[in-house]
Amino acid sequence: MSGTMVTGTTTTGAGIAVSVLQVALTVVGAPLLVGMMRQVRARMEGRAGAGVGQPWRDLRKLMRKKPLDPHGTGPVFRTAPLIQVATTLMVAAAIPFVSVDTGVGEAADLIAVVALLTLGTAALALAGLDTGTAFGGMGASREMTITALAEPTVLMAAFALSTRVGSTNLPAIVDAGLKDAGRVVSPVSVLAAFALAAVVLAEAGRLPVDNPSTHLELTMVHEAMVLEYSGPDLALVELAAAMRLSVLLGLWSALFLPWGTATSTGVLAVLGATALFVVKVGVLGAVLAAGEVFMAKLRLFRVPELLAGSFLLAVLAVAASFFLE
Amino acid sequence: MRGLLRKIRALGRVAEPAPARSAGLPPQRALAGSVQVRCVDAGSCNGCEIEIGQAFGPVYDADRYGVRLVASPRHADVLAVTGPVTRNMAVALKRTFAATPEPRLVVAVGDCAIGCGEFAGGYGVVGGVDEVVPVDLRVPGCPPEPEAIVAALRQVTGR
């Protein structure tokens, strides 16, 4: 980073305040989003549902429980939840959710954001291996398979979105979309939106790639890796999983529904953008939860087909950006 | 998909209205509002499992009181043990109990779990659940009705 900082977004005090706001919003809002999605699903199944606050009640309960160290696990197992929470918080600070002027500035790179999320995934997969149980290893191998297949799609879609802006800097991409709505509704953007939607489902562990509420050994991916966590560690893992979902939905909405994101750090603009961001992610979550009612989990060996399809869309997006510009 | 949507709209809510909560167990401050349950089949005939399944189905909807079934005893606060404890499951039950982080409760579901029921005196049976691990709550019945299971779990969540 020595002397290569390009002009553009620089770190300001107000920008840092925006980042802090985004992090606070993610921590407080992510469990509520999960609770809201479970509630939507419960109502569609004819059940009453546990209420939107249930994930927070679960977290509070887990925090009060006595920690328990499974026999034979080491530092990898113990630090994985912290790494996952930390990387997700960094991503929440970097992505321009409410304003393009975040405190992270030039470092808010699309590729860096994806790499940070993958670091969290890798840490948890290693923790799954560290437990030495059959399920931990199985979950880790499946998670890494899915991640390895999703990664090329992300890079291709990032390539398609960034060539026209000339930068992989997220605030620059979002800013360009805000100034010229034609970019966001162009074929390039629509193809990339569908490609990244499949990746969001895969990375957040939602149907049809992974079922977040399954207890069936043969279908577990994320659940299988975290079977040995208990008490406060499990609380961190669950909080990180919830935050990943809202961060991924927020990233998708920032890239493909950027309207309403503030271009300044004025208090009113930021407050309005915050409200709009909550509504956007809430609606995306509700649509996702409602869609899941109609869906069954894909057989594990069909998941590569889904991700290959999304990769094809991403390649088409790159080709379209070459031909249409 | 349209057929399913029509069914969702026509059916509306299946969950029965929540009955009044019965007081019994002293309230567990640490587990207020949220209880994760791990089922342990210590040798049951699966009759109790069917009733537990019903308790978490749409009609009785134990979920709405903050109760959830989990895949691992490490995630659990409550062990719901069914069946007389067979010789082969006694060690497994003890290990499951040890793997559950404190504070933890054991609920014996069904007559077999409480006192061996039909299987009392059988050669393959160690005894009731309380002969292997301490039991905090008992749900009698052969099999117990889903309402009784839900009522017992509500004593723990306090909702």
Q: State pLDDT tens for residues B26-37.
A: 667 778 889 999
Average pLDDT over residues A180-198: 89
Confidence of residue A323 (pLDDT cuts 50, 70, 90): confident
What is the C-alpha to C-alpha distance for residues A116 and A119, in angstroms, rounded to an integer?
5
Q: Report pLDDT digits (tens) over B63-88.
A: 999 999 998 999 999 999 999 999 99
Q: Report pLDDT digits (tens) over B87-141.
A: 999 999 999 999 999 889 999 999 999 988 888 888 999 999 999 999 999 999 9
Is residue A169 within 8 A of residue A127, CB to CB? The reply is: no
Contact A57 B30 (CB under 8 A): no
pLDDT of residue A229: 93
Q: Does B21 touch chain A (CB under 8 A)?
A: no
Nearest-Cα residue of chain B relative to residue A234:
B75
**Measured between CA atoms, how close is A39 to chain B, in angstroms?**
10
- Which residue pairs from B147-152 have beta carbons closer than 8 angstroms and sit at least 24 positions apart in sequence? B147/B19, B147/B60, B149/B51, B149/B52, B149/B55, B149/B62, B149/B80, B149/B109, B150/B55, B150/B60, B150/B62, B150/B65, B150/B67, B151/B19, B151/B21, B151/B22, B152/B107, B152/B109
Q: Which of A48, A60, A220 sits opposite B61 (nearest CB)?
A: A48
Is residue A158 within 8 A of residue A111, CB to CB? The reply is: yes
> Which element (helix H / strand E) includes B136?
none
Confidence of residue A7 (pLDDT cuts 50, 70, 90): very low
Q: Which of B63, B74, B99 sits opposite A42 (nearest CB)?
A: B63
Q: Does B98 touch chain A (CB under 8 A)?
A: no
- Closest-CA residue to B108 (of B93, B123, B124): B93
- Partners of A169 in the β-ladder: A109
For the beta carbon of residue A8, count every other beta carbon within 10 angstroms: 12
pLDDT of residue A4: 37
pLDDT of residue B30: 78
For residue A38, pLDDT beyond 60: yes
For residue A315, pLDDT beyond 50: yes
Q: Which residue has the tokens 């999983």?
A: A241
Strands B67-69 and B35-41: parallel
Contact A61 B77 (CB under 8 A): yes
CATH architecture of B30-157: 3-Layer(aba) Sandwich (3.40)
Of the two residues A4 and A12, the one the predictor is more confident about is A12
Q: How many domains, in total, are found in chain A?
A: 1
For residue A208, pLDDT beyond 90: no
Average pLDDT over residues A204-231: 84
pLDDT of residue A33: 96
Which residues in chain A are contacts of B58 at CB distance < 8 A? 45-47
Strands B85-86 and B105-109: unpaired
Range of the domain at A27: 13-324
**Domain assignment of residue A5, yes or no:** no
Q: Of A16-25, A36-45, B114-123, which gets the smallest average pLDDT?
A: B114-123
| pTM for the full predicted model | 0.92
Nearest-Cα residue of chain A relative to residue B58:
A47
Confidence of residue A1 (pLDDT cuts 50, 70, 90): very low
Contact A47 B11 (CB under 8 A): no
- So where are chain B's domains? 30-157
**How many CA atoms, within 13 angstroms, populate the side-chain half-sphere of residue A215?**
11
- Closest-CA residue to A208 (of A196, A195, A198, A217): A198
Strands B125-127 and B85-86: antiparallel
Confidence of residue A34 (pLDDT cuts 50, 70, 90): very high
In chain B, what percentage of residues exceed pLDDT 90?
Answer: 65
**Measured between CA atoms, how close is A114 to chain B, in angstroms?**
29
Contact B13 A48 (CB under 8 A): yes
Average pLDDT over residues A244-260: 93
What is the C-alpha to C-alpha distance for residues A207 and A245, in angstroms, rounded to an integer?
12
Confidence of residue B158 (pLDDT cuts 50, 70, 90): confident
Q: Is the dihedral of CA A127, A131, A133, A135 positive or negative?
A: negative
What is the C-alpha to C-alpha distance for residues B96 and B94, in angstroms, rounded to an integer?
5
pLDDT of residue A2: 36
Q: Is the dihedral of CA B75, B77, B83, B89 positive or negative?
A: positive
Structure tokens at B18: 């929540």
For residue B25, pLDDT beyond 70: no
For the beta carbon of residue A236, count every other beta carbon within 10 angstroms: 21
What is the C-alpha to C-alpha distance for residues A223 and A210, in angstroms, rounded to an integer?
9
Tell me the ipTM for this assembly.
Answer: 0.90
Q: How many residues in total does chain A contain? A: 325
Of the two residues A103 and A57, the one the predictor is more confident about is A57
When scoring B11, B34, B96 by the number of chain A Cβ atoms within 10 A, the one with the most, hence best to mutate, is B34
For residue A8, pLDDT beyond 80: no
Nearest-Cα residue of chain B relative to residue A54:
B66
Confidence of residue B17 (pLDDT cuts 50, 70, 90): confident
What is the C-alpha to C-alpha distance for residues A288 and A249, in angstroms, rounded to an integer?
10
**Domain assignment of residue A3, yes or no:** no
Give the list of residues 6+ apart from residue B72 with CB closer than 8 angstroms, or none: A227, A228, B38
What is the C-alpha to C-alpha distance for residues A35 and A50, in angstroms, rounded to an integer?
8
Contact A227 B74 (CB under 8 A): yes
Cα B105 from chain centre: 11
When scoring B11, B74, B100 by the number of chain A Cβ atoms within 10 A, the one with the most, hence best to mutate, is B74
* SS3 annotation, A60-101: HHHHHCCCCCCCCCCHHHHHHHHHHHHHHHHHHHHCCCCECC
For residue A9, pLDDT beyond 80: no
- Closest-CA residue to B147 (of B39, B17, B8): B17
For the beta carbon of residue A295, count every other beta carbon within 10 angstroms: 13
